[in-house]
Structure 1
Amino acid sequence: MKSEQIKKLKNAGLKLTSSRLLTLGAFSSLCKPQNADDIYKKLKKLTGKDKIDLVTIYRTLTSFEQTGIVKKVNLQKDSVYYELANSHHHHIVCTVCESVEEFNLCGIEKTTKDVLKKSIKFNSIAQHSLEFFGVCKKCTKNEKRSVKKFSPSSLNPQCQRN
């Protein structure tokens, strides 16, 4: 467990309850973004019993996000995914097997500044998120059927060109 996250909990005035420590501990052993159900299953497997319920995990994740311990990750799925907010990185997500790979992108800060220079409504950007979606090498090899390629218009029908 990271002392940095525990310090953030204390600074936010949150008690170090067993449910918060268990949830925080679950993140340290997970290598990709997780939703509340994933964390619940992981903790149930680790403890062998229901030491924490799903509602408590949802509440804990909300308080962790508010204190900057975790951040939401957009994986274009039905539930909200979270990861520790300990390093700045982005993701590539396989649309077939859902594997996730982290990557660093140098130069995004310059892009952020360029966006602000061109914006007529905004003075600052508090945060950003960048995820790419595609097919991993393993799935490309194993895939026998054609793979639907990602296009921005598949996300928003208004983006389709006439």
Structure 2
Amino acid sequence: MTPVSAPHPIASSRGALRGDSLRGVYFYELHEADDELAIGMTLAHDEAFAPSEFLAMVETARSRVIETFTEETLIEAIAAELEREHDFAASLDSRLVAAVGISSEEGETRLLAHEGPTAHAADEGEEEDPDLAIAEALLSGREPIGLRTAVVDLEKNESLDS
């Protein structure tokens, strides 16, 4: 891929330039959405790519992983493929170092509880919610597996008909 220069910079109030790289780091976004839910992920790279080049990389990654990915969502699978093939760095929760809750009230800005890289490891022993698994499969474009149907007989409660 051919590096390109960053978009024309716009001066900010702090003197930094929007559109320029931040110490040689360029940011890219992936979005996966339907009518109900939108998921986004930011990727970083030390080279600037033209938007059309980034799109081509994403489309290639998508075609490689669409049928076989094991990540929870398609967007995570594409991000992982872009990391493997093109050295992008994805902003994953497991890589988060610190989280701070900001408040306009004095003394209310504080560190938020942060589980770090072990956050998902604790979830591995928990029972999976079947409704959530079905929703995640549908959102990622996969066919849900393990659908169950229950048929029950109901009796009419005559005392409620008054």
Shorter-chain TM-score: which interval? under 0.3
- Give the number of the structure whose residues are more often helix, by fraction: 1
| TM-score normalised over the length of structure 1 | 0.25
